[in-house]
A and B are shown apart, each in its own frame.
Chain A
Amino acid sequence: MTSKFWAKVTVAVAALYSGVVMADYQLNLTRGATRLTEDVYQLHNMMMWVITVIFCAVFGFMFYAIYKHRKSVGHKAANFHENTSVEIAWTVVPFFILIAMAVPATKTLLDVRDTTNPDITVKVTGYQWKWGYDYLKGEGEGVAFLANLSTPHEQIYGSEGKGENYLLETDRHMVVPVGKKIRILTTAADVIHAWYVPALGIKQDAIPGFVRDTWFRADKEGIFRGQCAELCGKDHGFMPIVVEVVSAEKYSGWVAETKKAIAAAADDPDKKWELADLNARGEKVYAANCAACHQANGQGIKGTFPALDGSKLVKGPKRGHIDIVLNGKSNTAMAAFGKQLSDTDIAALITYERNSWSNKAGEVIQPSDIKAARK
């Protein structure tokens, strides 16, 4: 072993050590942005105190016995093996301690579950693997969009440096006004997801076919991040949530802007498209919705997600292809994209799939085809 080798080892260990020392060490629950997260934070602290005291007391006895009642210090064993009054005491006393803990817990729980009189109601839908937001009631009614992970592929799989919000960033934020009661309705399109934002004190399962609710009222402005908390398949770790709490004026501005953008983005459903334009658009739709399973190269993942490159269905008549994209396939991860995407997007997507990789149909699917197939 040369001294050079040991120098290298020292540098590596030092780098590891400094990495560990400089890193983030959050030791307690997130101090959140709502009154309820503060209540829960305090409740948890209270629990920790009670537990610590009992733990120290019980194991104080144990370690005292270990220290004093050892055979090696010549301690002779006593022969007692029951004591009714002690046994009754240590059954009854914990019972009262538990009641003392249950009272504040009950009070907080009733607050947590009180979803009455919201100012704004937003429906949150879990998809494999993104979140959809529909503003149902209150200011902003009618706004609807999907939010996808915006961390680039190269940061996850490659050597590109990871940003501060790595895996906790989305292309669109759920924006809400500060100080207003926001009711969240959760549901899902495919499997169970859970909408989890630590700083807002919310974790609510999103269950396909059912609607559950929860609420929050943010006391301060800011950007709060979270992610899916219920295993939902391959990209469970890659469907973050970003909630942006802004002032009332800023919120009104955001609503107006978003509505305008949605109107502008709406396509003329009867427009006739050229192959090249549709292909270009379809490539983007494919990357956002399909590539996670079927892969960018259309090869899928063997045994789990079928390949589209050379697929019989994709090369076959367009009706079957349109049908599976619109309606999905039951008992598989193939979602019904008819509910998520516009006619133009689906037309572009199908055109792209039929004209990519080794698939060379040369055929253009128009939005009107999709419209007809929806009926």
Chain B
Amino acid sequence: MSAVIDNHGHAHDDHHADHGHPPGLMRWVSTTNHKDIGSMYLWFSFIMFLMGGVMALTIRAELWQPGMQIVQPEFFNQMTTYHGLIMVFGAIMPAFVGFANWQIPMMIGAPDMAFPRMNNWSFWLLPVAAILLVSSLAVGGAGVGWTMYAPLTTQAGPGMDLLIFAVHILGMSSIMGSINIVTTILNMRAPGMTLMKMPMFVWTWLITAYLLIAVMPVLAGAVTMTLTDRHFGTSFFNAAGGGDPVLYQHIFWFFGHPEVYIIAIPAFGVVSQVIPAFSRKPLFGYASMVYATSSIAILSFMVWAHHMYTTGMPVAGQLYFMYATMLIAVPTGVKVFNWVATMWRGSLTFETPMLFALGFLFLFTLGGFTGLVLAMTPVDVPLHDTYYVVAHFHYVMVAGALFSALSGVYFWLPKWTGNMYDETLGKWHFWLSMVFFNITFFVQHFLGLAGMPRRIPDYNLQFTAFNQISSIGAFGFGLTQLLFLYVVLKCIRSGEKAPDKPWDGADTLEWTHLPTPAPYHTFENPPTVK
């Protein structure tokens, strides 16, 4: 994750002119190196992950039994809100941008990102946004849900304004990062690397970056309209002034649904590198994988109102969004089939990255299936805004995106740090995560089916048993992630030295052309790809 300090030494061995960098903190503030910036993204996202995790545990502690014991309803609402915002914008998205920074230049044979200074700026905006976000809790917070539906947001206190500005800054950071990624991929590939020869991870990020550029401004628009409704007398979302509260939801989900795939598609990319490597067999259906990913991205713009089946839209609208949403199952199915076919008749081994990739495959598919259930409008009506939905999207976000990110960290950690992680501890980390994740979230399907609404701080006695099981799982899952921190630190400090290519089946440029650990500057002379 951040062995760059070690790499500093290697940079001297590298026979290139070492440009040097300022010592201490200033190195990190002023760095334009894609590896440094990738490490900062990853550490930042891990810190935010812990912060969002503590909020999740506050929620689960309050829900341990009926009655209000630990927090007040107002604060409970703030916890659900900030947990969601921090995990989506602070933890998962930056984690995959971190992967993009580290990996894309190495995988396409480029020396760095296309715009190194902008790269620095897009990272350093993140802590600013995070400080705004968290400090808004200190001025009363805003318990409006991560979706920030109007007109509840119009009522909220000054914390809401800080939240809005934080979202603006996060959006700027994402847009700059995306432009950088698109430019790098389209212009800086090594000679011979055509688009259809790029590693799947690079393809998924190219598609994701376009999604980000398309929808982050939409989110910025939605929250800006909220801001002007709050302070400048506009009525975008206020019926009394000729506006419509549901307009907000349309705009938000026009951003929000592609956002789901902004998180999922790079996760697909990581898994598409890991599964072939440990199957010792090329990815099955490379071309169809590219087409499936692109169609998922395009379809993601056309299904947003399936989050709004109960708003009372015309029945024709409900039917259209139901059909379009079900259609996404087709390309998603293709991807799952391709991964399974990649493993078929391979020569499989099950190191930690592979375990997390298989955990991803198994549980993400489960989350996809509950998504299909929710796509069916008449079935969604009783399930909408219940714990069923909470379970569904945690299968996609945690077992999907987070497991994939963990898989990627274990996969590339040797290349980044030069050291192997502790395989035994890694396997413990996987199995504990797998078990506790399911204890936490599988039972939430039942809570939703029985009718427990989401975002409530207290509940009827009939929901007690499953809530207690879920809370036990959540604390187990949270503690398990501290083990992950330990494994990573141990790897950096005292891991065994890793060979240049520790994984038999890995075949991308960073494994075949670069020493381990990857030097500070790589591919100053591009390799030739046949």
Q: Tell me the A residues contacting B by CB distance below 8 Å.
A: 16, 19-20, 23-30, 37, 39-40, 43-44, 47-48, 51, 54-55, 58-59, 61-62, 65-66, 69-72, 75-83, 86-87, 90-91, 94-95, 98, 101-102, 105-106, 108-110, 112-113, 155-157, 162, 164-168, 186, 190-192, 194, 196, 198, 201-205, 207-210, 212-214, 226-238, 301-304, 331-333
Contact = CB atoms under 8 A, between A and B. Distances in A.
Q: Name which of A164, A167, A209 has the most chain B CB atoms within 10 A of its CB.
A: A209
Contacts, number: 297
Contacts of A105: 322, 376-379
A92 to B, nearest CB: 9
Q: Sorted from nearest, which 6 A-B pairs have the closest CB atoms?
A: A209-B239, A212-B312, A23-B465, A237-B456, A303-B140, A198-B451
Contacts of A156: 67-68, 458
Contacts of A83: 341
DSSP class of A's interface residues: helix, strand, loop or mixed? Answer: mixed
A207 B312 contact: yes
A81 B285 CA distance: 6
Contacts of B358: 62, 66
Contact of A110 (B279, B315, B340, B446): B315
A162 B144 CA distance: 28
B283 A190 contact: no
B263 interface: no
Given A26-B450, A55-B369, A237 B73 contact: yes
Interface string B434-452: 0000000000001001110
Contacts of A110: 315
Nearest to B145: A231
A136 B511 CA distance: 73
Contact of B282 (A72, A79, A203): A79
Given A102-B326, A162-B67, A229-B386, A82 B287 contact: yes
A75 B284 CA distance: 18
B449 A166 contact: no
A77 B347 contact: yes
B349 interface: yes
B348 A191 contact: no
Given A69-B347, A210-B239, A229 B459 contact: no
B281 A81 contact: yes
A70 B348 contact: yes
Contact of A192 (B72, B149, B157, B446): B149
A208 to B, nearest CB: 6
Contacts of A168: 460
A236 B77 contact: yes
A278 B510 CA distance: 81
Contacts of B505: 77
Interface in B281-340: 281-288, 310-312, 315, 318-319, 322-323, 326-327, 329-330, 333-334, 336-337, 340
B514 interface: no
Contacts of B240: 209
A234 B133 CA distance: 20
A61 B382 CA distance: 34
B345 interface: yes
A204 B377 CA distance: 13
A47 B379 contact: yes
A109 B377 contact: yes
Interface in B340-390: 340-350, 358, 361-362, 365-366, 369, 372-373, 376-379, 381-382, 384-386
B347 A71 contact: yes
B151 A208 contact: yes
Given A51-B372, A87-B285, A90-B334, A26 B464 contact: no
Contact of B155 (A80, A81, A191, A237): A191
B244 interface: yes
Contact of A43 (B246, B379, B468): B379
Contact of A24 (B344, B361, B465): B465
Given A55-B366, A79-B281, A109 B315 contact: yes
Contacts of B369: 51, 54-55
B381 A82 contact: no
B359 to A, nearest CB: 12
Nearest to B142: A304
Nearest to A62: B340
B152 interface: yes
Contact of B152 (A198, A203, A228, A231): A231
Nearest to A86: B341
A101 B326 CA distance: 9
Given A102-B323, A203-B385, A231-B455, A44 B330 contact: no
A317 B50 CA distance: 52
B176 interface: no
Nearest to A168: B460
Given A98-B329, A192-B245, A69 B343 contact: yes
Q: Name which of B152, B238, B327 has the most chain A CB atoms within 10 A of its CB.
A: B152
Nearest to A107: B378
B312 A72 contact: no
A210 B246 contact: yes
Nearest to A196: B453
Contacts of B453: 196, 227-229, 237
Contacts of A44: 373, 379
15 contacts: A16-B468, A23-B465, A24-B464, A27-B449, A71-B347, A75-B345, A80-B345, A81-B342, A102-B323, A156-B67, A166-B460, A191-B152, A202-B381, A210-B239, A231-B145
B466 interface: yes
Contact of A238 (B67, B73, B343): B73
Contacts of A72: 349
Contact of B337 (A25, A90, A155): A90
B183 interface: no
A83 B144 CA distance: 50
Contact of A75 (B154, B348, B384, B464): B348
B348 A192 contact: no
Contacts of B330: 91, 94-95, 98
Contacts of B143: 231, 233-234
